[in-house]
Amino acid sequence: MADEQRSVTQVTKAIIPVAGLGTRFLPATKSTPKEMLPIVDKPAIQYVVEEAVSAGLDDVLMITGRNKRSIEDHFDRAYELEEALRVKADIDRLNSVRESSDLAQVHYVRQGEPRGLGHAVLCGAAHVGGEPFAVLLGDDLIGARETLLKRMIEVRQTYGGSVIALMEVEPEQVSLYGCAAIRPTDEPDVVTVTDLVEKPPVDQAPSRWAIIGRYICDPGIFDVLRKTPPGRGGEIQLTDALRELARRGPAEGGPVHGVLFRGQRYDTGNKVDYLRTVVEFACERPDLAEEFLPWLRDFLARHEAGSTR
Residues of the shown chain interacting with ligand UTP in the complex, contacts defined by CB under 6 A:
17-24, 63, 111, 114-117, 119-120, 137-139, 269
Q: How far is the CB of 99 from ligand UTP (least distance, A)?
A: 22
Is the Cβ of residue 113 or residue 168 nearer to ligand UTP in the bound state? 113
Query: What is d(CA 101, CA 72) in angstroms, rounded to the nearest whole number?
Result: 10
Is the Cβ of residue 20 or residue 253 nearer to ligand UTP in the bound state? 20
Query: What is d(CA 309, CA 306) in angstroms, rounded to the nearest whole number?
Result: 8
Is the Cβ of residue 74 or residue 85 nearer to ligand UTP in the bound state? 74
Q: How far is the CB of 214 from ligand UTP (least distance, A)?
A: 12
Is the Cβ of residue 22 or residue 231 nearer to ligand UTP in the bound state? 22
Closest of 155, 150, 132 to residue 257, by C-alpha: 155
**b/e sequence 220-241, b meaning 16+ C-beta within 10 Å:** bbbebbeebeebeeebbbbbbb
Is the Cβ of residue 177 or residue 209 nearer to ligand UTP in the bound state? 177
Decide: 26 and 17 in contact? Cβ < 8 Å.
no
Cα–Cα–Cα angle for 220, 262, 242, rounded to 5 degrees: 15
Residue nearest to ligand UTP (CB): 20
CA dihedral over 13, 144, 212, 66, signed as positive or negative: negative
Q: How far is the CB of 202 from ligand UTP (least distance, A)?
A: 20
Q: How far is the CB of 155 from ligand UTP (least distance, A)?
A: 22
Q: How far is the CB of 233 from ligand UTP (least distance, A)?
A: 9
Q: What are phi and psi of 236, to 5 degrees?
A: -80, 115
Residue 219 preceded by cis peptide, ω within 30: no
